[in-house]
């Protein structure tokens, strides 16, 4: 039996062809080109803080930081969860927990890295839910929720704390397990 060619697969499964075509666009109708990225990069630098809220309440901020001689040097992306009630001084406020953030160079390539980081982070947040050990909504401080570390039941900080809290014998067993 011969292996089907890519053309055969694309003809037989139109959804695969659409998915591959979608990878060449930032959004439907906007090609993923250097020109499109440069246009978006110019806009982010003009507004200094770009803020986007999704239908599920998650929020992404992209801002330019670390100005040196009037030119922004870095671009930071912050991913926030939906607003949560937090009490302070007897009043309730709606605050958004910061899920994660990343800083890149302030270039069109840096903007692309920020967008990819935001897309991946939002997907992980929606698919996996945040770390259950460090969710602190409802207290006086701003809420904290972090993404789980890859392959871990909790975020990197909580996993690290759990490992430090393990007994020496448990650490040796974990090191020698397959």
Q: How many whole angstroms separate alpha carbon 54 and alpha carbon 82?
A: 9
* pTM value surpassing 0.75: no
pLDDT 10s digits, 48-97: 788 888 888 888 988 887 556 666 688 899 998 888 877 777 788 888 88
CA 100 to CA 174: how far, in whole Å? 29
Residue 52 to residue 27: CA distance in whole angstroms? 14
């Amino acid at each position: 039996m011969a292996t089907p060619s890519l053309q055969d697969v694309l003809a037989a499964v139109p959804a695969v062809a659409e998915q591959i075509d979608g990878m060449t666009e930032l959004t439907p109708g906007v090609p993923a080109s250097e020109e499109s990225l440069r246009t978006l990069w110019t806009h982010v630098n003009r507004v200094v803080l770009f803020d986007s809220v999704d239908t599920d309440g998650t929020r992404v901020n992209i801002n330019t930081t670390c100005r040196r001689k009037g030119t922004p040097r870095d671009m930071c992306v912050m991913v926030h969860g939906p607003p949560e009630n937090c009490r302070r001084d007897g009043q309730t406020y709606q605050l958004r927990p910061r899920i994660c953030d990343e800083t890149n160079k302030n270039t069109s390539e840096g903007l692309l890295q920020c967008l990819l980081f935001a897309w991946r982070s939002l997907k992980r947040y929606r698919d996996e839910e945040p770390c259950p050990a460090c969710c602190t909504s409802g207290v006086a401080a701003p809420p904290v929720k972090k993404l789980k570390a890859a392959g871990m039941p909790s975020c990197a900080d909580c996993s690290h704390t759990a490992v430090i809290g393990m007994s020496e014998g448990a650490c040796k067993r974990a090191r020698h397990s397959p």
